[in-house]
Amino acid sequence: MNMISETGREIESLRSTLRKLRGKGGCPWDMEQSLDDVISYLIDEAYELLHAEKSGDPALLEEEFGDVFFLVIFIHELMLERKDSQLAELISRVHGKIISRHPHVFGSTKASSCRESIAEWERIKQSENKTDEKMPALSGIPAALPPLRKAFSIQKKAAGAGFDWPDHTGVIEKLYEEIEELKSAIDEGGKEMIKEEIGDLFFTIVNLARKLNVDSESAISASSEKFVKRFYLMEKKVRERGLSFQSMDLTELEAIWQESK
């Protein structure tokens, strides 16, 4: 069986189902959904897809990818309701963009590192700007991005413009500097100053993660889940000893925490 034909038939069948759900006599919930609504669901499902990938469960990963794909088609259906916007044309357009922004692969230029590749991408992106005025390097970052993702996007764009540390060692030095500034803010006792310095510390940590090719959101998510598992185990050990958190001091709790690790 032709895989392309099979895929096309399944997509058209899905579209037919969506149109029935949103058409006369369809589902009231589906009929009420707006483009903003479905894009919001897509963001949620993208996080669930990320969680599925981290779980190591191939079946769950496939299921969550299916949910994401469904919402992508749903979004396109809503776009079609506004104007004719053929999926093949959209795919062809983005395909052309991907090729044009990789001249070091499909053309004659060279990029021997990830940094050079990103710089090339940003240079070409700027050259594609149709206005006479060059777009600011940090433009186009969605205001609604989650804070860690937004920090990463800002840093990535700045790096693409050429403003970046050569490697992670400079960021580590900056991290120590920010910690000292936070200590000073705490000593001075100004809440707003402390808040500002904590923000700077977060921003630097995200930058360090970026330089080490670590997704900061995935890293903090994994650490949070690890903490929860160890905390549950610690609670179990405390109960098994006939004790409670309130009856124990921090030294005793820390000892059980270390056991739980």
CATH of the domain at 54: 1.10.287.1080
| Rounded distance between C-alpha atoms, residue 160 and residue 140, angstroms | 14
| Rounded distance between C-alpha atoms, residue 73 and residue 65, angstroms | 12
| Rounded distance between C-alpha atoms, residue 89 and residue 94, angstroms | 9
Phi-psi region of 243 (alpha: psi -120 to 50; beta: other; left: phi over 0): beta
Per-residue pLDDT band for 60 (boundaries 50, 70, 90) equals very high
- Per the domain annotation, does 166 fall within a domain? no
Which of these three, 85, 118, 144, is where a domain ends? 85
pLDDT digits (tens, 9 = 90+) for 151-210: 999 998 888 888 899 999 999 999 999 999 999 999 987 899 999 999 999 999 999 999
The total of structural domains in the chain comes to 2
- Per the domain annotation, does 68 fall within a domain? yes
Q: Identify whether the C-beta of residue 177 lies closer than 8 Å to the C-beta of residue 170.
A: no
- Per the domain annotation, does 148 fall within a domain? no
Which of these three, 85, 115, 147, is where a domain ends? 85
Which of these three, 85, 100, 129, is where a domain ends? 85
Per-residue pLDDT band for 146 (boundaries 50, 70, 90) equals confident
- Per the domain annotation, does 107 fall within a domain? no
- Per the domain annotation, does 43 fall within a domain? yes
183 versus 243: the higher-pLDDT residue is: 183
Residue-range definition of the domain harbouring residue 227? 218-260
Contacts of residue 61, defined as CB under 8 A and 6 or more positions apart, other chains included, come to 49, 52, 53, 55
By C-alpha distance, which of 109, 213, 241 is closest to 156? 213
- Per the domain annotation, does 222 fall within a domain? yes
| Rounded distance between C-alpha atoms, residue 141 and residue 98, angstroms | 19
- Per the domain annotation, does 170 fall within a domain? no
